Amino acid sequence: MPVTFEVNGKSVSVEVEPRLTLADCLRHHLRLTGTHVGCEHGICGSCTVLVDGAAVRSCLILAVQAEGAKVVTVEGLSRDEGLTPLQASFRKHHALQCGFCTPGMITTAHALLSEEPDCDADRVREVLSGNLCRCTGYIPIIEAVLDARAAYKRGGTGA
């Protein structure tokens, strides 16, 4: 069936099976492979994207449910050249190793900092506890997100 929604600011129309997840639609139909699929049952958070501003597991919603929504993926939170303050902070703090969970961490952190630029470490840990990372032990990820708050506090988008 047809579905039309906005991805990273552009309207897209796709013909999909009703059972297709938004994650698979983004990755395999729209070729936005920055969104990663790590478990397909909503635990690992690698597939997190923004749907109308909220951090959502794209493996747990169907593409057809995105009808009319504004979807933003990690590609949409990136610049053509250089890094955003949040991305630069991840790099500075060595908040990634294999990089597989990173897009989900970035999207989740962006949603948090956009809403709560003054959040404290406990709040960051609480929100990111839904995103699994097997490489870093999370300590540098928390540091990176806390360090990126300044870019969001000034009313900026951080992106």
Query: Which class for 145: exposed (0-12), middle (13-18), buried (19 or more C-beta within 10 A)?
Result: buried
Q: Which residue has the tokens 């936005």?
A: 32
Q: How far is the CB of 114 from another protein (least distance, A)?
A: 17
3-state SS class at 51: strand
Q: How far is the CB of 13 from another protein (least distance, A)?
A: 20
Binding site for another protein (CB under 8 A): 17, 19-20, 27-28, 31-41, 43-44, 46, 73-75, 78, 83, 87, 90-92, 94, 96-103, 106, 121, 124-126, 128-142
Cross-strand partners of 131: none
> What are the φ/ψ torsions at residue 106 (nearest 5 degrees)?
-65, -45
Q: CB-wise, 68 or 137, nearer to another protein?
A: 137
- Full strand arrangement of the beta sheet holding 70-72: 10-15, 2-7, 70-72, 48-51, 54-57
Q: CB-wise, 41 or 154, nearer to another protein?
A: 41
Q: How far is the CB of 125 from another protein (least distance, A)?
A: 5
Q: How far is the CB of 31 from another protein (least distance, A)?
A: 7
Q: CB-wise, 69 or 144, nearer to another protein?
A: 144
